[in-house]
Amino acid sequence: MADGGRGPYKETGADAENRFVGAGALNPENRPGEIVCVNAANGPTGPEKAGVENEPCTAPAENRSVGPAAMSPRAQRAYALFLQGYNCAQSVAGAFADEMGLPLETVMRMASGFGGGIGRLRETCGTVSGMVLAAGMLRGYGAPETGEKKTQTYAMIQELAARFRAANGSIVCRELLGLAVPEGTPQAEARTPEYYRKRPCPRLAAEAAGILEAYLAETAGETKAETAREREAKTAGESEVETAYVG
């Protein structure tokens, strides 16, 4: 993934001093007045990072990192959760906790082991795992299933993964980080300015949440139709049972 010193940021056009949110997490306006710089000295700047001065962005427009104001609502939430200290998978899944109808702490515990490419193994990116966890909760199935529902769920996950891969070049943690091999240790890194300078993780969390949010909106009508069909089938089945019982 490395190229000209830009590493995994090649796909979004961000340079070494302006790495953050990619286009997949943005709303259509992508307003140029809502820019947040990320520099080597201070990490992310702006109101979302308490105590750090919001320095002016002097990078060319094509290399600027777009801040929370230009993201979709769920992308903003994932971005903010990551900056609070949650891992990549937690940040994405947690952004949908209210829609899942679960307490935030419950979702964070469920997603906690997926961080760092599954327990820092640098395999499937934690933001993708968090996206999959949330998608399964919101659009998956809960009963033993071998047919259409399972196929539909797998198709949904493959579509989400394809969108993430198209935006970032990979869904594998070590490739996104530009690592030749995993670090070989479970020790988590401290969230220092250097950490934020070198990592695409806040951007990827926002991107994954934005992808899932867009997908859910695009397919909302299909889900309502499917729910109506299921309700009708259930009602018909109950009616048949009642008729047989009366008879």
Query: Structure pTM?
Result: 0.68
The pLDDT of residue 230 is 62
Give the tens place of pLDDT for each residue, 111-146: 999 999 999 999 999 999 999 999 999 999 998 988
Longest Cα–Cα distance in the chain = 80
pLDDT bucket at 82, cuts 50 / 70 / 90: very high
The pLDDT of residue 234 is 57
Higher local confidence (pLDDT), 239 or 55: 239
Q: How far is CA 205 from CA 20, 112, 125, 127, in A?
A: 10, 14, 10, 5
> Letter for the amino acid at 70?
A
Angle at 110 between CA 107 and CA 113, to 5 degrees: 130
Measure CA 54 to chain center: 25
pLDDT bucket at 33, cuts 50 / 70 / 90: very low
Residue spans per domain, the chain = 7-246
The pLDDT of residue 61 is 40
- Taking 80 as the threshold, does the pLDDT of residue 63 lie above it? no
Q: How many residues does this entry show for the chain?
A: 247
- Taking 70 as the threshold, does the pLDDT of residue 225 lie above it? no
The pLDDT of residue 41 is 37
DSSP of 58-92: -S-GGGPPB-GGGB-HHHHHHHHHHHHT--HHHHH
Number of Cβ within 10 Å of residue 54's Cβ equals 15
Mean residue pLDDT of the chain comes to 75
- Taking 70 as the threshold, does the pLDDT of residue 110 lie above it? yes
32-46, 181-195, 196-210: the lowest-pLDDT one: 32-46
Measure CA 132 to chain center: 9
The pLDDT of residue 38 is 39
Average pLDDT over every residue of 10-39 = 35
Tell me the helices (H) and strands (E) count for the chain, helix number first.
Answer: 11, 2
Q: Where are the alpha helices (DSSP H) in 52-172?
A: 73-84, 88-94, 97-100, 104-111, 115-118, 126-139, 148-168
| Measured distance CA(90)–CA(130) in Å, rounded | 6
Q: To the nearest whole percent, how much of the chain has pLDDT over 70?
A: 62
- Taking 60 as the threshold, does the pLDDT of residue 246 lie above it? no
